[in-house]
Amino acid sequence: MINYSKFVLDNGLRVVVNEDNSTPLVVVNVLYDVGARDEDPDKTGFAHLFEHLMFGGSIHIPDYDSPLQIAGGENNAYTTNDITNYYCQLPAENIETAFWLESDRMLSLAFSRESLDVQKKVVSEEFKENYINQPYGDVWSLLREMTFKVHPYKWMTIGKDLSHIEKAKLKDVKDFFFKHYTPSNAILSVAGNVTTEQVKALAYKWFADIPAGPKYERHLPQEPDQTEKHFLEVKRKVPVDAFYKAWHGVAWNTPEYYSMDLLTDILGSGKSSRLFQSLVKEKKLFSNIDCYHLGSVDAGLVVIEGKLAKGVSFEDAEAGVDMELEKVKEEKLTEKDLEKLKNRVESALAFEDTSLKSRAADLAFFELRGDAGMINTVKDKYFAVTAEDIRAIGRKIFREENASVLWYRSEDASGLASEAELETENERHD
Partner 1 sequence: MIDRLMPPGLKSPLDFSLRLPAFEIATLKNGVQVYQVNGGAEDVIKIDWVFEAGNVFENKNGVAAATRELINSGTSNKSAYDISNQFEYYGAYYSTAGFSENAVITVNSLTKHIGDLLSVVREILTDAAFPEDEVALYKQNRIQRLKVYLKKSEFLADRLVNEALFGADHPYGRKVEIEDIEKIDRESLIAFYKSYFQGGNCRIFVSGKFTEKVVSLLNEFFGDLKFTSKKKITPAALHPMKEKVLHRVVNREGVQGAIRLARTFPVLTDPDYKPALVLNTLLGGYFGSRLMSNIREEKGYTYGIYSYIQHYPDVGVWQVATEAGRDVAEAAIEESFKEMKVLCETKVQDDELKLVKNYMLGKRLASLDGPFKVMERIKGLVLNDVDQSFFEETVEVIKGVTADQLQELAVKYLQRKSFYNVLVI
> Hey, which residues between 31 and 70 contact partner 1 (CB under 8 A)?
59-61, 65-67, 69-70
Distances (CA, A) of 105 to 27, 109, 302: 17, 5, 37
H/E element, 248 = strand 242-248
* 4: number of Cβ within 10 Å: 20
The answer to whether 119 contacts partner 1 (rule: CB under 8 A) is yes
| Residue 430 within binding range of partner 1, rule CB under 8 A | yes
For the segment 334-373, give every residue that binds partner 1 (CB under 8 A): 336, 339-340, 343-348, 350-351, 353-354, 356
Report, in Å, the least distance between residue 17 CB and partner 1. 16
Determine how β-strand 242-248 pairs with β-strand 301-308.
antiparallel
Q: Which helix (H) or strand (E) holds 315?
A: helix 314-330
Instruction: Please provide residue 40's backbone torsions phi and psi, each rounded to the nearest 5 degrees.
Output: -70, 135
**Distances 246 to 51, 119, 145, 165, 311 between C-alpha atoms, Å:** 29, 33, 12, 28, 23
Q: Which is nearer to partner 1, 158 or 299 (CB)?
A: 158
Tell me whether residue 126 is exposed, middle or buried, using C-beta atoms within 10 angstroms of its C-beta: 0 to 12, 13 to 18, 19 or more.
Answer: middle
CB 244 within 8 A of CB 139: yes
Q: Is 290 in the site for partner 1 (CB under 8 A)?
A: no
Q: Which of residues 236-275 bind partner 1 (CB under 8 A)?
A: 237-240, 269-273
Distant-in-sequence, close-in-space partners of 166: CB < 8 Å, separation ≥ 6: 120, 124
Residues from 303 through 322 that contact partner 1 (CB under 8 A): 307, 309-310
Helix axes 374-383, 335-353, angle to 10 degrees: 170
Q: Which is nearer to partner 1, 283 or 396 (CB)?
A: 283
Using CB under 8 A as the binding rule, whether residue 326 contacts partner 1 is answered as: no
Binders in 201-220 for partner 1, by CB under 8 A: 205-206, 209
8 or 122, CB closer to partner 1? Answer: 122
Among 117, 197, 331, 411, indicate the residue that binds partner 1 (CB under 8 A): 117
CB of 142 or CB of 162, closer to partner 1: 162
Residues 136 to 155 in contact with partner 1, rule: CB under 8 A: 136
**Interface segment toward partner 1; rule CB under 8 A; list 326-334, 375-383, 390-398, 417-425:** 417-425
**What single letter denotes the amino acid at residue 417?**
A
Q: Which of 10, 42, 74, 331 binds partner 1 (CB under 8 A)?
A: 74
Q: How far apart are CA 339 and CA 172, in angstroms?
A: 51
Binding residue for partner 1, selected from 4, 46, 99, 177, defined by CB under 8 A = 99
Shortest distance, position 272 Cβ to partner 1, whole Å: 4
Alpha-carbon separation of residue 124 from 42, 131, 169 (angstroms) = 17, 10, 15
Among 11, 94, 358, 376, binds partner 1 (CB under 8 A): 94
Q: Looking at 47, 83, 90, 403, which residue binds partner 1 (CB under 8 A)?
A: 90
According to the binding rule CB under 8 A, does residue 126 interact with partner 1?
yes
Closer to partner 1 by CB, 211 or 239: give it: 239
Given the rule CB under 8 A, which of 83-91, 213-221, 381-389, 394-402 is the region that contacts partner 1? 83-91
Question: Least distance to partner 1 from the beta carbon of 68, Å?
Answer: 9
* Distance of alpha carbon 7 from alpha carbon 147, whole angstroms: 40
Minimum CB separation of residue 96 from partner 1 in Å reads 4
- CA distances to 95, 96, 193, 217 from 198, rounded to whole Å, are 10, 10, 10, 32
- Distance CA(332)–CA(53), nearest Å, equals 50
